[in-house]
């Protein structure tokens, strides 16, 4: 199968701090790839390399390469705004803009040049439907997004990301701030979306990785310790450190 994203010999430094060590990973199309590991091990850092969000961090330096469909995203052949449109992101805390539901979803298409009102209406509706929140929100499109519940806000943020028609969706612990019911809704959603998208999800919850992901990467102190089929990684880990972590015998 063809790689959607190829990470080769990736090293990342926050000023003097070496946060990722020689990471190599192949992320396949239409699969869910999960990153697990104790907090501070570099999961978010790697995720944010995939759409160059680390560009916003002062003193952040990257070596190695990340390829999207074979094009090096740090190589200068791909404009960063185009990259981020193709590789969307959902954050740990729901972060809808302080605007109406409609304007939140329409923001992305608008900045990418869609001006036709009818086309925007359609994009907003399909995106909200894809994020399985159209029925909840169709009567309050003009209400402020800040009045929604946490779970609704997060699905709105997913809809907002989908509205620019990305190919890859990055999710950084998207359910860590949500209740169990909202969490399972987002998980179902991820499983549905993988038909059309490639998903990379960071999770602090190993059960979540087992439930939804095809591949899992286990990180420790900036190293990718083990990467493989989720079933295999959780049932027969190759590395002793992985085994200790998934059986909960980790310091």
Ligand X SMILES: Nc1ncnc2c1ncn2[C@@H]1O[C@H](COP(=O)(O)OP(=O)(O)O)[C@@H](O)[C@H]1O
Q: Which residues bind other proteins (CB under 8 A)?
A: 51, 53, 56, 80-85, 88-89, 91, 93, 95-99, 107-108, 110-112, 144, 146, 157, 160-161, 164
Q: How far is the CB of 20 from ligand X (least distance, A)?
A: 8
- Give the shortest CB-44-to-Mg ion separation in angstroms: 3
Shortest reach from residue 168's CB to other proteins, in Å: 12
Spell out the residues 6+ positions from residue 35 whose beta carbon is closer than 8 angstroms to its own: 43, 46, 47, 200, 201, 202, 203, 216, 217, 219
CA 29 – CA 38 distance, rounded (Å):
26
- Residue 4 or 84: which CB sits closer to other proteins? 84
- Residue closer to ligand X (CB basis): 47 or 106: 47
Q: Which is nearer to ligand X, 36 or 157 (CB)?
A: 36
40 binds, among ligand X, other proteins, Mg ion, none (CB under 5 to 8 A by kind): ligand X
- Euclidean distance between CA atoms 7 and 224, whole angstroms: 11
Work out whether 44 is an interface residue with Mg ion (CB under 5 A).
yes
Nearest-CA neighbor of 200 among 59, 72, 46? 46
Q: How many CB atoms lie within 10 A of CB 140?
A: 15
Decide: is 33 part of the binding site for Mg ion (CB under 5 A). no
Q: CB 143 → other proteins: shortest distance, Å?
A: 12
Q: Least distance (Å) from ligand X to the CB of residue 57? A: 4
Shortest distance in whole angstroms from residue 93 CB to ligand X: 13
Interface region with Mg ion, contact rule CB under 5 A, candidates 43-51, 76-84, 114-122, 223-231: 43-51
Cβ nearer to ligand X, comparing 6 with 92: 92
* Partner that binds at residue 83, options ligand X, Mg ion, other proteins, none, CB closer than 5 to 8 Å by kind: other proteins
Where on the chain is the footprint of ligand X (CB under 6 A)?
14, 17, 19, 37, 39-45, 57
44 versus 104: smaller Cβ distance to Mg ion? 44
Minimum CB separation of residue 47 from Mg ion in Å reads 8
Between 178 and 220, CB nearer to ligand X? 220
Using an 8 Å Cβ cutoff, are 218 and 226 in contact? Answer: yes
Q: How far apart are CA 87 and CA 82, in angstroms?
A: 8
CB closer to other proteins out of 55 and 214:
55
């Amino acid at each position: 199968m063809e790689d959607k994203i190829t990470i080769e010999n990736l090293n990342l430094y926050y000023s003097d701090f070496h946060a990722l060590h020689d990471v190599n990973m192949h992320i396949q199309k239409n699969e869910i790839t999960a990153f697990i590991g104790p907090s501070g091990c570099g999961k978010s850092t790697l995720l944010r390399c995939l759409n160059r969000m680390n560009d916003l961090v002062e003193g952040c330096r990257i070596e190695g390469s990340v390829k999207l469909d074979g094009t090096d995203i740090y190589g200068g052949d791909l404009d960063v705004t185009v990259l981020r449109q193709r590789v969307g992101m959902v954050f740990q805390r729901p972060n809808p803009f302080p605007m109406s539901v409609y304007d939140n979803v329409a923001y992305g298409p608008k900045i990418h040049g869609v001006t036709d009102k009818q086309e925007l209406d359609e994009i907003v509706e399909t995106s909200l439907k894809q994020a399985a929140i159209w029925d909840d929100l169709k009567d309050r499109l003009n209400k402020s997004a800040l009045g929604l519940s946490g779970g609704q806000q997060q699905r709105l943020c997913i809809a907002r990301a989908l509205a620019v028609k990305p190919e890859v969706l990055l999710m950084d612990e998207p359910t860590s701030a949500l209740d169990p019911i909202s969490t399972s809704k987002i998980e179902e959603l991820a499983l549905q979306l993988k038909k059309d998208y490639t998903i990379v999800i960071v999770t602090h919850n190993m059960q979540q990785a087992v439930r939804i992901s095809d591949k899992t990467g286990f990180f420790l102190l900036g190293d990718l310790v083990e990467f493989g089929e989720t079933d295999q990684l959780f049932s027969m880990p190759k590395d002793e450190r992985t085994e200790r972590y998934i059986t909960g015998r980790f310091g």
